[in-house]
Amino acid sequence: MRIGILTSFKECCTKEDYIIAKSFAEDGHKVDLLDFPIQFEFKNVYDLIILKNAWDLNENTYKNYFNELEKFLNKVTESNCKIVSSLDGKFNFDKYGKKYLAELYKKGYNVVPTINNVEDINILPVVEKYIKKPYVSYDGFDMQQITYNDLGTLTLKDEVLQPKIKFISEVQLYFVDNRFQYALEYTPSKWPEYPTPHELVPDQKFIDQAVEIINLNKASCSFNRVDFLRLSEDEMIILEFADSNPNLSLPLLCKETLNKFLKNFKHAVYKYTDNK
């Protein structure tokens, strides 16, 4: 099989994409790392595209990533090439952004309190400060801090509003489809700096909460990351869910965990491509 792994050569996350490429090559496939956006005609060149760390991590230009991705996906469709993640989930970030958090919060799921309509302001907890985020943004780009006194003039247009929450750490759970693989805890968090995380085994109830959202998403084939904020030793709340091309922090894993993930990831990809 001819495989292209979509990445960004100018970002540090490319190291984990080399790990994935090497693993597929060891199975006998021809694998290329492709710098995004792709500058050549790839129609009929690849049987499979794996969407990985193609993010633009520059706040001044990151919005162009979504424009380039849409053009790229249109070309993928025209070429009849398969793509992983399958990007057909109900909550797919590249299409719908953070809007799903408001929907899940209203339905009582264990997510950070979130609204996308000012008429719902009364369902948020009363705190001193709030965070306004665009539906489609990442790495904290274009976030705005809003005080309680500013809520009277608040507007939300393709944006969500959340209370600013005090937390101990950020805990990220990683899945292949809906099967839990490993978890990393960042203290205090991944933003704005990246402390070295440690692996942990979260309580089953949090794995179940993450799986519930992954199942609601109903993507055909995906590698998922569900991020929690740890509020106390035994309490966590879901910050967000990513199913398109989340960074998987593979270089930070111990050998046993990494090998387990690669085996399960490739199995899911092969099963998906065989059934398409």
pLDDT of res. 116: 96
pLDDT in tens, 88-110: 888 887 777 899 999 999 999 99
pTM score, two decimals?
Answer: 0.92
The band of 158, judged by pLDDT with boundaries at 50, 70 and 90, is very high
- Residue-wise DSSP of the chain: -EEEEEE-TTSTTHHHHHHHHHHHHHTT-EEEEEESSP-S--TTT-SEEEE-S-----TTTTHHHHHHHHHHHHHHHHHT-EEES----TT-HHHHTTHHHHHHHHTT-SB---BSSGGGGGGSPP-SEEEEEESS--TTTT-EEEEGGGGGG---SSEEEEE----SEEEEEEEETTEEEEEEEESS-SSSS-PPPEEE---HHHHHHHHHHHHHH--SS-EEEEEEEEEETTEEEEEEEE-SS----GGGS-HHHHHHHHHHHHHHHHHHHHH-
pLDDT of res. 214: 95
When the pLDDT of each residue in the chain is averaged and rounded to a whole number, the result is 91
pLDDT in tens, 37-64: 887 777 788 999 999 988 888 899 888 8
pLDDT of res. 66: 86
Task: Give yes or no for residue 191 having a pLDDT over 70.
Answer: no
**Which range is least confidently modeled, 68-72, 150-154, 203-207?**
68-72
The band of 179, judged by pLDDT with boundaries at 50, 70 and 90, is very high
Task: Give yes or no for residue 169 having a pLDDT over 80.
Answer: yes
pLDDT in tens, 111-141: 999 999 999 999 999 999 999 999 988 888 9
